[in-house]
Chain A
Amino acid sequence: MAGLIFLLAGVSMMVACAGYRGVAIALFGVSSVAAVLWFDHHMTDPLTLAF
Chain B
Amino acid sequence: MNVLANLGNAAAAIGIAAILLVAFGLQFWFGELPCPLCNLQRVAWVLCGFGFVLNLRFGVQPLHYGLSLLGALFGAAVSGRQVLLHIVPGSGTYGSPVLGLHLYTWGFLLFVAVIAGIAVLMILGGRPDHDRDGRHADLRFSGIRRFAAYFLVAMALANAVSSFALCGPIECPDSPTSYWISTYLRF
Chain A positions within 8 Å of B, measured between CB atoms, are: 1-7, 9-10, 12-14, 16-17, 19, 21, 24-25, 28, 31-32, 35-36, 38-39, 42-43, 45, 47-51
B43 cross-chain contacts in A, Cβ below 8 A: 2, 5-6, 9, 31, 35, 38
A40 to chain B, nearest CB (A): 11
B161 to chain A, nearest CB (A): 7
> Are B153 and A10 in contact (CB-based, < 8 A)?
yes
> Are A13 and B149 in contact (CB-based, < 8 A)?
yes
Q: Is the interface of B mostly helix, strand, loop or mixed?
A: helix
B9-51 CB contact bits vs A (8 Å, 1 = yes)?
0000000000000000000000000001101101110110110
Chain B contact residue count (CB 8 A cutoff): 50
A51 cross-chain contacts in B, Cβ below 8 A: 88-89
> Are A10 and B58 in contact (CB-based, < 8 A)?
no
> Are B47 and A35 in contact (CB-based, < 8 A)?
yes
With known contacts A3-B167, A19-B138, A42-B40, A13–B50 Cβ distance under 8 A: yes
Q: Can you report 12 A-B residue pairs in the complex whose CB atoms are below 8 A from each other?
A: A3-B161, A3-B164, A4-B160, A6-B42, A9-B43, A10-B160, A16-B149, A17-B153, A25-B67, A31-B47, A43-B81, A47-B84
